[in-house]
Chain A
Amino acid sequence: MLRYLGIRLSTTVGVLFASTLIVFLLLHVGPGNPATLLNGGHAPNAATLKYFNARYGLNHSLPDQYVIWLGHLLHGDFGQSIAAHSSVTSVLAPRIGVTLLLTGYAVVLMSIFGVAIGVLSGVVRNGPFDLAATLGSLTFTAIPTYVTGVVFAVVFGVDLAWFPAEGGGDTGSLFTRLDHLTLPALALALSSLALVSRITRSAVIGELESDHVFGAKVRGFTRRRVVVKHALRGSMIPVVTIIGAQVGYLLSGAIVIEYAFGLNGIGTLLVQSVQGKDYAVVQAIALIVTFEFLFISLVVDLLYCLIDPRVRLAGGRT
């Protein structure tokens, strides 16, 4: 277990390191000179250029710039935002909560409802509930989040006015914030929720047909006990896999949903920063989301070990 943890941790750190290199290089090899950009699109004169290069450390060689940048990064310094004229950290700080709350809310909705619906349809296979769930998930898995989001905003936000359709989601009490985030979180979670329920359903059905569940039935356990204690536990590996994969998807899906609903999260900021060529902010957000993504895959891999001890013997999945 420890050995596996060690290997897994070191690969994650390695990939994280490589991802900083990629993000750094991508935004440095692209066309467009930062000094020109800072000067409002006009090529600056020699003195200004010298000033800019010194001010933003552009007079160093590319590898040196990378090392300096990485050093600052390790100290939590993401550099300066051109658009906001302040440090990237101070721009990100008030916004990251919205994104985390939105993604977390969506993950909770997806896991609870996805697994519950999946288990129920698996248990009452081919019943009316199963049929309705199948049709529902068929529809929603095929529709991308931004379409769901836009349509939800129209139907529930504008026409029915059940929930606020617009608003930052960054002010007020936790309840107000959650109220603002309900529609976006639902739109974000829906297609993943449908997929999770499908996978859960087939996993539960597979387990219910297995020998060990048959054995439990033969021993005369109640149906509830057979389902909860025997079938559910065995069906958790594919469910955890799909939930883990979907969390990764929700992280990037949140970017689009925030933009669609006009939320003040880092996703909206990322889009604005790309449009405004505010590269330091783009780098910071790209790294934060990638870090979250890698962290989630690490957690999922470790969960396998807890759920299924055989994984340890096999030397682990990579």
Chain B
Amino acid sequence: MTTSDPTLDVLLEPTEDLRHRRYGSRLLRGLPKVVVGVSIALLVVIVAAAILAPLLAPYNPNTPDLLNPYAGPGAAHLFGQDSAGRDILSRILYGGRLSLLGPTIVILIAFAVGVPLGFAAAYSGGWTDIGVSRVFDLIFAFPALLLAIVIVATFGTSFYSAVFAVTVTYIPLMGRVVRSACLVERQKPYVEACRLQGYGSWRILVLHVAPNIGRILVSQTTLYFAYALLDLAALSFLGLGAQPPQIDWGTMLENANQGVFQSATGVIFPALAIVLLVVPLNFVADWTLEYNRAREERR
């Protein structure tokens, strides 16, 4: 927190991006390998469960059973039934599909747009840099969730407009990381060495700078994936994301919250699904960062 450019602070402490703040994963320094292993295993299981949902789900996730609303967990329905008597286990499995698809789209687009913008800003400097940075600053002037809600208001409530809205707030995050990382890399001796050898700036950028930044990007992208998942779940929770009959964990949580006085157990499973996905993602992001640091120090 000592440089005068806050974007550099962000780079120096990538997991502690103050604006997008929810986790203090810095305290996990020296994370035991077991935790990382368990995290990765958990992520693989969750992703596989979501993909294989049609094979695994014991019921159709949208088939109501109006005679048994809010039934508790039992042999026939392992996680119980929701307000319309739908099987919660099946809904969690199917809900994982949109819950994972959303942040995947967000990150892919934010990456495809933000990374070139960040490179351009750092490498061209001058007016390009000022222009791109000001636009980013303007987006940062809004609380991210609020901006997303206003964008959803513009384009109507649907899964894809929620994804679009969240993407808009992630492009500058991605671009800023790349820009700061580039600015730091540019000052390193190897870039100068390349320049002295007469390499063009694009060649230096693509063949030399990009691989070095790539490592930072991996951990940052993992973290942003987790954030994007939470932001999308928040929008769904507010009824501004996925619309029935689409299912995701945010809408499930909202639905369970409406019926919280009838059944408290309904709340637990979507909440747990979100937490069990996001916490391991944080661990993995932290681990990749730690790994890069160690690598950097060895050189």
A165 at interface, CB cutoff 8 A = yes
- A7 CA to B23 CA in the complex, in Å? 33
Q: Pick the most buried of B151, B237, B268: most chain A CB atoms within 10 A of its CB.
A: B237
A275 in complex: contacting residue of B145, B151, B157, B279, CB < 8 Å? B157
Bitwise interface map of B from 50 to 70 toward A, beta carbon under 8 Å scored 1, else 0 = 000000000000000000000
**Given A256-B234, A274-B153; A146-B145 close (CB under 8 Å):** no
- Chain A interfacial residues counted at CB < 8 A: 66
Which of the segments B75-83, B189-197, B253-261 contacts the partner chain? B253-261
B21 at interface, CB cutoff 8 A = yes
B155 in contact with A30 (CB, 8 Å):
yes
Bitwise interface map of B from 259 to 299 toward A, beta carbon under 8 Å scored 1, else 0 = 01100100110010011001100100000000000000000
A159 at interface, CB cutoff 8 A = yes
B142 in complex: contacting residue of A256, A274, A293, CB < 8 Å? A293
B260 in contact with A150 (CB, 8 Å):
yes
Bitwise interface map of B from 1 to 45 toward A, beta carbon under 8 Å scored 1, else 0 = 100101000000000001101111111100000000000000000
Q: Which residues of B contact A195 (CB under 8 A)?
A: 21-24
Q: Interface residue tally of chain B, by bracket?
A: 35 or more
Q: Which residues of B contact A151 (CB under 8 A)?
A: 267-268, 271
Main SS class of interface, B? helix
- A317 CA to B4 CA in the complex, in Å? 6
A104 at interface, CB cutoff 8 A = no
B152 in contact with A147 (CB, 8 Å):
no
B146 in complex: contacting residue of A31, A146, A252, CB < 8 Å? A252
Which of the segments A74-82, A167-175, A223-231, A241-249 contacts the partner chain? A241-249
B156 at interface, CB cutoff 8 A = yes
- A252 CA to B22 CA in the complex, in Å? 13
Closest-by-CB residue of A relative to B281 is A142
Closest-by-CB residue of B relative to A198 is B24
B1 in contact with A237 (CB, 8 Å):
yes
Q: Which residues of A contact B141 (CB under 8 A)?
A: 15, 18-19, 290, 293-294
- A27 CA to B149 CA in the complex, in Å? 11
A49 at interface, CB cutoff 8 A = no
B146 in contact with A19 (CB, 8 Å):
no
**Given A153-B260, A158-B261, A198-B24; A142-B275 close (CB under 8 Å):** yes
Q: Which residues of A contact B143 (CB under 8 A)?
A: 248-249, 251-252, 289-290, 293
- A146 CA to B19 CA in the complex, in Å? 18
Instruction: Write the nearest CB–CB distance from B178 to chain A, whole angstroms.
Output: 20
A89 at interface, CB cutoff 8 A = no
Bitwise interface map of A from 170 to 212 toward B, beta carbon under 8 Å scored 1, else 0 = 0000000000000000000001101100110010000000000
- A259 CA to B145 CA in the complex, in Å? 14
B238 at interface, CB cutoff 8 A = yes
- A147 CA to B150 CA in the complex, in Å? 23
B240 in contact with A275 (CB, 8 Å):
yes
- A292 CA to B267 CA in the complex, in Å? 32
- A314 CA to B3 CA in the complex, in Å? 10
Instruction: Write the nearest CB–CB distance from B150 to chain A, whole angstroms.
Output: 5
- A300 CA to B71 CA in the complex, in Å? 50
- A188 CA to B153 CA in the complex, in Å? 24
A–B Cβ pairs within 8 angstroms, 5 of them? A138-B28, A143-B275, A147-B271, A253-B145, A289-B146
The 9 closest A-B pairs by CB, nearest first: A30-B154, A252-B143, A198-B24, A252-B145, A245-B18, A154-B264, A274-B153, A141-B23, A147-B271
B residues in contact (CB < 8 Å) with A: 1, 4, 6, 18-19, 21-28, 137-138, 141-146, 149-157, 230, 233-234, 237-240, 253, 256-257, 260-261, 264, 267-268, 271, 274-275, 278-279, 282
